[in-house]
Amino acid sequence: MKTLVALVGDFYHKEELARESLLKALAGLIEASELQVHFVNHPDQLICELRNQPAAVALFAEDRVAPIEQPDLKWMTPALSDQIVQYVENGGGWLAWHSGLASYPPDSSYTQMLRGYFLSHPEQNKQVSYAAADNGQQERFAFADEHYFVHCDEENTEVFLRSSSEDGESIAGWRHPYGSGRVSCVTPAHREEGLLHSEFLSLLKREISWIADLSSKTRQ
């Protein structure tokens, strides 16, 4: 059985909702003993877990620790960033999920590994439509969400999802190999409506299956 280590929740995102979303998405894999999920509550715990070489990591937490009281206080030091990159280079899988793309320095080794990062979102949550980047695919869903606008090094990754709303269009999902490991980035979702949406849960399962290098059978 492979292990996914997950650090989810921050000042603006409820840990309980993110946990529920992840466990619902992976329920079939967990029941089939293909994957187990180990939640950690602090970045220091996450870094310690990397020493055990888990199959994959899901990060749904921004870099800022206390964005209101101490907006400049951040947890990811250059040394920790390099440890994460080394873990992926050595064969680990990494999912940067929603706020896992937010507030990390664009020039850090972590963000360079992701090949993309959060730029901004409108103040109000509005209806956001998500569609497969390849028109030949059927993936399409919509819900009220924080519409993330991102920078993405599109030439050096595989874009698989795009987003649109009355505020504009953006890339919403991309993936690529990195060293001996794999990286996937997804921008949905912020609210319960999106986090528990069936189509989004299917996408989440697919991307975690890919970064954890599970068999093609479990990805279906």
Q: Is the peptide bond before 18 cis (omega within 30 degrees of 0)?
A: no
Q: Which residue has the tokens 């749904």?
A: 60
Instruction: Decide which of 209 and 133 is more confident.
Output: 209
pLDDT over threshold 50, residue 219: no
- Helix count and strand count (H, E) for the chain: 7, 13
The pLDDT, as a whole number, for residue 136 is: 62
Give the percent of the chain with pLDDT over 70: 96
What pTM does this model have? 0.94
pLDDT at 218 over 60: no
- In sequence order, which residues have a C-beta less than 8 Å from that of residue 21 and are 6 or more positions away? 189, 195, 196, 200, 201, 204
- Given pLDDT bands bounded at 50, 70 and 90, which one contains residue 216? very low
Closest alpha carbon to 56 in 202, 159, 190, 184: 184
